[in-house]
Structure 1
Amino acid sequence: MVDTVDTEETVVISNSFPRALLTFIKTIRTLEDMVDMVVMVDMLFNSLDELKKRIEEIANADGFVIVTRRSKKIGGRTGRVWLECDRGSEHQTGKAGSKKTGCPFYLLAVRNHPYETWEIKDGKIEHNHELCEDLSAHAFVRRFTPSEMKLIEQLAAQNMEPRKIFQTIRKQDPDRFHVQKDVQNVVAKIRAEQRQGLTPMQSLENMLINNDFIYETREEPGTEIVTEIFFLHRYSRDMWRAFPRVMLIDATYKTNIYNMPFIQIVGLTPTNKSFIIAYAVVSKERGDNFVWVLERVKSMLDECMEPRVILTDRDLALMGVCAKVFPDASRLLCRWHIQQNVMKHCKGVFNYMYDNWLKDYKEMFVFAWTDKRRNFGNRTTNRVESQHTNLKRYVLDRSSLDRVVGCVREIVETQFSEIRKTFRESIEKRMNHHKHPLYQHLLGKVSHTALDLLNGEAIRKLDVLKRFHSSCGCQMWYSCGLPCACRIGKYMREERPIQLEDIDVFWRKLNFQCCKLIDDDVDVVEELNIVRQQLESHPPAQQKSLMSKIKAVLTPKKSTKKPPVVQQNTRRRPTTKQVQQRSDEASRIDEELRRSSFGDANTCFEGSRQSKYDKPRHSSYVPSQASQQSVM
């Protein structure tokens, strides 16, 4: 027999109390004889959570929110819980405001000790405020459940934007009161917990070390403010040392909170897959900054073979540094960027092309010159542009640097897996259009991309050159290191297959073994002994300073480096609206200058050049002939 509900406890009931909850309380209070558990379902609850859930459902339906005011333990376990309206307590002053009205509503939930059930024993059923029709302004009802919190954490770990996380949760339960700001707050809290109270630079260096990155930083003398950061994943180093023949360089913008240009350096595998060599965050795009970055790229090769071809846009500082750091590499300009500039100057296209491109740079982008040197089919920096796009699928606009590093790790690991798969396919898989006696010595020993190029060249030999009696040109031989049409024709006449020695080694390398010239092994004991001897040769004060620097490298959580300064005037692609506004304003100013009869013409032009409304320019910008003449 179950004990009856204590009827001596009284409940103060007001006419303003919601009908659903009033009926619920009255029903509980009137049931005294409860013999069967089935009869008790609507009055007694098997747990406190079950009771709260039922009360919250009824309260929310009637236009108010129930929260826990306090609880009391009995026998070491929760025995009493006071529930109140979320507008209870006194009004709180402050900038944020307060919904508190001192609402007197409360309910007392009590645990029945013998039967471990819960019931409502006491309460005051009245409000001093109007009930709400919409509860979305009440933070309590917008709290996430444990399952929703776990989902947010998983999606945030996958670098999903809070906006998309909110949409995912909204689709699962459209009736919830969540707003997008709630998801943003949870994501910010998760990231703050991950940083563990570290400074931005400590968090960044900790992320780099824990995720197998090799990195270097450069600080401003005397301030320890970081101005440049260079880093690459160990997988990137392995791929760079295995395939150093092609290097493409370009910068992108709006990737980090410091507005610093983000440089991506990209390589190419024989299976036509791009991979990231290294990343760098720099304060300025100047010669000194590029020298610092490219010297570290070169040092990662450890005396391996250096690049044979480097592609950039027409950034004069970068072009000069490439010639200095890699003097033996062929340097090419991106034809796509040149085409975009030509289209902007289509009225005087011939004079513009000669004066600004053909006169000094024809050997770096015209096929007649570029195809006489090894470029392995690369004539644009589109591979880097595609890597920019890929990065921005992961990185939100102006993310923290440690978040950028986390995204980079996922990108590099994905690239490494995909490239490894293409190697195995080239070795093991046989394509139908490759089953020709001409290629029998090459199957499984060169990449599918090389075989596709050879097959296309053989078709050109049969369909084009033979039909029109034209010459070969040997473009495939000089630029890609593969037999061209005339050489393939010779193989066909002699009825013998193409020899593996006639294929450039670039297409024959189907593994990640580096082209090393020295041993990679490091004798840690010997190296530390050398360091110890050098330390002992310094005075005690210097020894202490040097030891602190060594410890800072090994323990990034104690680093004293300061984060970079937010850059104000970095070069970046302006929006279409900005382009139009600046173009219109520049045209207006030029028109006024032409009509003006005051002052020196050169002085007037200088004033226009310094205007904030000058036409925007990207790194490949070259002034038109008209603008050059106006300066003169």
Structure 2
Amino acid sequence: MPLFKIVGVTSTEESYNVGFAYIANEKEDNFVWALETCKSLLIRKETFPKVIVTDKDKSLMNVVAKVFPNSTALVCRVHVYKNVKAKLKAVCNAKEQIMDQLLKTLKLQWNSIVDSTSEESYTTAVVEFRKVFEKFPNFVKYVETTVLDPVKEKFVSAWTDSVMRIGNTSTNRVESQHGALKQYLTDCKGGLVKGWEAMNQMVPNQLTKIKTSFGQSTTAVEHYFKNHFLYIKLVYNISRQALHFIRALKIEKKLPIRLDEVNTHWKRLQIDDVVDGEVDCLQEFNVIQERMKSSDHSMKLQIRDQLCLIAYP
């Protein structure tokens, strides 16, 4: 009986299990039940996943689109590449030495396609891919009609970089959690009860680890960020991992970031339910505008100065 696993990631880059579901088979009806049940447990719409990564299972992909229509669905790059690699082996049927060279070439060409940062560079990479594998037209046709044309937007950087995927491009976190669960199972012959007991042991330990990582971010400052004026308003308020990402952007790519550009994901440093969704300030803005209209010049300057303090902290 397949065990369907749903996994998330915290602001401190810790993986956690959202849910487990034993399903009779991997058909749409069972996936609908599992995801609808998960959805019913999410307290607010703000907690619905913004991005969902799955393997290239058509049934699961269809259900994700139905149950979470406002979430961006991505496909695991690792699974896609495995399918492409397997197809090349099946089509070519070459000797081991030649096949090894073909696979090395495939990896280079495939990475060029997947890592394309724009539609133009993607098109260029695909054209080059066609040239390199022109001796294997059936393979090229398979890749284009079965993989690239239908789902390129779900795994190629030119499209996936436009959504908040927090660096996730594969289902590796799910595989990792599956491996962790196995460590709690004494043998592979256990039934539902043993499976439940293993999960019941695993999840509390997982929560303890997550709380520890949150505590490190809210109570301790690493040496580099201590008393550094660039990070003074970020330490204790975002995760350590986010601080390192910001530092890496600054050092490696010379890219700055505004305080208000730090996504709320990196600010979540507690497990308790906290309302941190959209805050409507339209009424307050309207009142400020009306007050500006009726104020004298000196008062307008004071209001502007106060707004500047908020806008440019």
TM-score w.r.t. the length of structure 1 is 0.35
Distance 1:307 1:507 in 2: 15
Shift of 1:515: 4.8
Of the candidates 441, 444, 449, which is equivalent to residue 241 of structure 2? 449
* 2:201 paired with 1:460: no
How does 1:229-248 map onto structure 2 within 5 Å? none
User: Residue 263 of structure 2: which of 480, 497, 504 is its match?
Assistant: 504
The one-character-per-residue Cα deviations of 1:420-470 (angstroms, maximum 9, x if unpaired) are 0000100111112334322221011000111111111111124xxxxxxxx
Partner of 1:343: 85
Question: What's the secondary structure of 1:389's corresponding residue?
Answer: helix
The answer on 1:290 being equivalent to 2:49 is no
The superposition leaves residues 363-394 of structure 1 with CA deviations (integer Å, 9 ceiling, x where unpaired) of 00000100011111111000000111111122
Confirm or deny: 8 A CA contact 1:423 1:510 kept in the other structure.
yes
Larger radius of gyration: 1
What is the DSSP-based 3-state SS (H/G/I as helix, E as strand, rest coil) of the residue aligned with 2:6? strand
Q: Deviation of residue 356 (structure 1)?
A: 1.4
Q: Who is 1:430 aligned against?
A: 221
Structure 1 vs Structure 2 CA RMSD: 1.6
Structure 2 distance, partners of 1:452, 1:353, is: 37
How far apart, CA to CA, are the structure 1 residues paired with 2:144 and 2:224?
44
Alignment of 1:279 onto 2:20 = yes
Aligned to 2:109: none
* Long gaps (5+) in structure 2: 93-135, 277-313
Of residues 308, 321, 324 in structure 1, which corresponds to 2:66? Answer: 324
Query: How far apart are the structure 1 equivalents of 2:188 and 2:17?
Result: 20
Give matches, 1:143-542, under 5 Å: 260-305=1-46, 306-346=48-88, 347=92, 348=136, 349-395=139-185, 396-435=187-226, 436-462=228-254, 485=255, 488=256, 498-499=258-259, 501-515=260-274
Report the Cα offset of residue 322 of structure 1.
0.6
Per the alignment, residue 289 of structure 2 pairs with none
Q: Where does structure 1 lack aligned partners over 5 or more consecutive residues?
A: 1-259, 463-484, 492-497, 518-632
CA distance in 1, matches of 2:17, 2:271: 14
- Relative distance call for 1:312 and 1:326 in structure 2 (3 A) is same
Using the alignment, how far apart are the partners of 1:444 and 1:373 within structure 2?
26
Task: Give the alignment's TM-score, normalised by structure 2.
Answer: 0.69
Looking at both structures, which has the greater relative contact order when contacts are Cα pairs under 8 Å and sequence separation is at least 6? Answer: 2
Could you tell me which amino acid in structure 2 is paired with residue 389 of structure 1? G
Query: For residue 171 of structure 1, what is the aligned residue in structure 2?
Result: none
Task: Tell me, in whole angstroms, the C-alpha distance in 2 between the residues paired with 1:388 and 1:434.
Answer: 35
1:20-59 equivalence runs, <5 A: none
Structural mapping, 1:570-585, within 5 Å:
none
The AA in structure 2 aligned to 1:397 is C
Q: Determine if contact 1:434/1:455 at 8 Å carries over to the other structure.
A: no
| Larger helix fraction of residues | 2
The CA distance in 1 between the partners of 2:163 and 2:205, in whole Å, is 32
The answer as to whether partners of 1:302 and 1:516 remain within 8 angstroms in 2 is: no
Please list, as runs of the form range in 1=range in 2, the aligned pairs for 1:612-623 lying within 5 A after superposition.
Answer: none
Distance, in Å, in 1 between the alignment partners of 2:217 and 2:154 is 32
Determine which structure has the larger strand proportion and give its number. 1
Amino acid at match of 1:265: I
**SS of equivalent residue, structure 2 residue 43:** coil
Q: CA deviation at 1:360?
A: 0.7
Corresponding pairs, count: 225
Residue 513 of structure 1 and its aligned partner are, at CA, apart by 2.5
Amino-acid identity (%): 36
Q: Cα distance, 1:354 vs. partner?
A: 1.2
Query: Whole-Å Cα distance in 2 between the matches of residues 447 and 283 of structure 1?
Result: 40
**In structure 2, how many angstroms separate the alpha carbons of the residues matched to 1:345 and 1:515?**
48
